[in-house]
Chain A
Amino acid sequence: MAERLGAPGAAGYAAAALVKLDRPEQAIEAFEGSGATSPGRAPLLDYYHALACYEARLYVRADRLLAGVGARSGPRIAGQAARVRADIAKALAAEPGRDVVDWYVARCDALAAGDRPVLARAFCEEALAVAGRRADRHGAAEARERLSRLRPVAQGGP
């Protein structure tokens, strides 16, 4: 509605409101759905996007977004982004288990079956990223195969 009324950045603010309402998956869909502003334009919205990914347990994705926030935001947001990144680094320090990759792939499948392609893609990309942190790359082929089947999102995504 807001977009139709001529406010191109409205989706980002609506998505940020969803983050505050503790609905991270819906927020990710709003941040990354078709017509959403690409990351990198508004550091504050990127921070909220990263929080949504964090709450949805898409930690690699959140870390990637937060990496771009730090230098372009104010000192307070930059400090918070650094703290969150440090927490994520601790969680990702050890090699993730096979169960972790399987969980992301299963979540991707469930979301794809539920006709939520934006979220499904996010979870499959996370599965691929997490699988890349394993020596045996367990689950990477499955995640890649699923990503190839999901239709690409028009705009958005880190």
Chain B
Amino acid sequence: MKRIITLLAAALSFAFAAPVLAADAPGASNTPDAATAPGATQTTAPGATQAADDALADKADVPAKPPVLPSTASDRATYVHDNIAFGKKGAAERAAHSQADRQGATDTDDAHAEAANRAAHAAAASAAAAANGDSHAAAGQARVRTARTSRTAGTTTTTTTTTPGATATAPTMPTGRGR
């Protein structure tokens, strides 16, 4: 197609330029009739016209579609086909569906992100609680150890204090039975 147009354009421009150049040439008549008279083109640039005709003849083909008489009913059907069923409206509906799908996907992603966020918060809170519990437990164990130590120490002390008269007995290590 481009080749045809280019060839036609070249041939036509040559055809148009030839009479103008002839009119502008020294010795040529300056009256407009010299360039615009019927037959001027044919006599000055027959080769260009012939080339354009050859290009047109070469590309002349028969119509691809068989003839179909138009009717208002067929026009309505064509309009419906082009603009409603599969055309603009159909495209609009498809675009709306696509948009809805995308929105749905976005919403789903948002919901997933929110759920993940909540889960992360819950996990963090749980971890913090666990850590708190651990620290509480550690503190409790520490208190138990302290109490155990102090109780043991207290037993020894008690032994020594409650039996002032038994100073001759050697001090013994605290045992479980001493509780």
A→B interface (CB under 8 Å): 2, 5-10, 13-14, 16-17, 20-21, 42, 44-45, 47-48, 51, 54-55, 57, 59, 74, 76-77, 80, 83-84, 87-88, 90-92, 96-97, 99-100, 102-104, 106-107, 130
Q: Is A7 a contact partner of B8 (Cβ separation < 8 A)?
A: no
Q: Is B57 a contact partner of A51 (Cβ separation < 8 A)?
A: no
Contacting residue for B69 out of A20, A44, A59, A87, CB 8 A: A59
Q: Is A76 a contact partner of B57 (Cβ separation < 8 A)?
A: yes
Shortest B72–chain A CB gap in Å is: 5
Q: Is A17 a contact partner of B16 (Cβ separation < 8 A)?
A: no
- Give chain B residues whose Cβ lies under 8 Å from the Cβ of A88: 67
Shortest A142–chain B CB gap in Å is: 14
Tell me, yes or no, whether B152 is within 8 Å of chain A by CB.
no
Shortest B54–chain A CB gap in Å is: 10
- The 6 A-B pairs at the shortest CB distance, nearest first, are namely A99-B71, A6-B35, A91-B67, A6-B19, A5-B16, A103-B70
- Give chain B residues whose Cβ lies under 8 Å from the Cβ of A90: 67
The answer for the CA separation of A87 and B23 in the assembled complex, in Å, is 48
B→A interface (CB under 8 Å): 1, 4-5, 8, 11-12, 15-17, 19-20, 23, 35-36, 38, 40-41, 49, 52-53, 56-57, 59-63, 66-75
In the complex, residue of chain B having the shortest beta-carbon distance to the beta carbon of A94: B69
Q: Is B52 a contact partner of A7 (Cβ separation < 8 A)?
A: no
- Give chain B residues whose Cβ lies under 8 Å from the Cβ of A5: 16-17, 19-20, 35
| Known interface pairs A17-B8, A20-B5, A74-B57; A8-B67 also in contact (CB < 8 Å) | no
